[in-house]
Amino acid sequence: MNPDFMRLVTWMCLFFAITLTARFIFLVRNIMQAGRKAIRGVLQQSSGEIFCSDIMERTGFSKARVEILLRNMERKGMIQRVPQGEDVLIKLIE
């Protein structure tokens, strides 16, 4: 096999992989941003406090998705989570 051809194929594969990775990161960021916006809207409609189970019910998001979004929002200082028995009370900060 021609070494120049192999080098070209390698560079094309690398470029393709980098392009796909960049697009994946862009999509994940957009999904996270939309999820945070939806949860923030639910919190604002609920006077800044709501239970985690109610967020799942109102947004239609799965428990796993809500947990990931809430962890992200807590890390960014947007919310505070307060355990309340079996559920967790979410408080909007700001």
Structural domains in the chain, sorted by start: 3-92 (1.10.10.10)
Q: At what angle do helices 63-75 and 3-45 cross, to 10 degrees?
A: 90
73 in Cβ contact with 79 (< 8 Å): yes
Residue 1 has a pLDDT of: 74
Output the pTM of the full model: 0.79
Low-confidence stretches of the chain (pLDDT < 70) are none
What token pair was written down for 47?
């006077």
Q: How many CB atoms lie within 10 A of CB 64?
A: 8
Classify burial at 38, counting beta carbons within 10 Å of its beta carbon; exposed 0-12, middle 13-18, buried 19 or more.
Answer: middle
Residue 67 has a pLDDT of: 95
Taking the CA atoms of the chain, what radius of gyration do you get in angstroms? 21
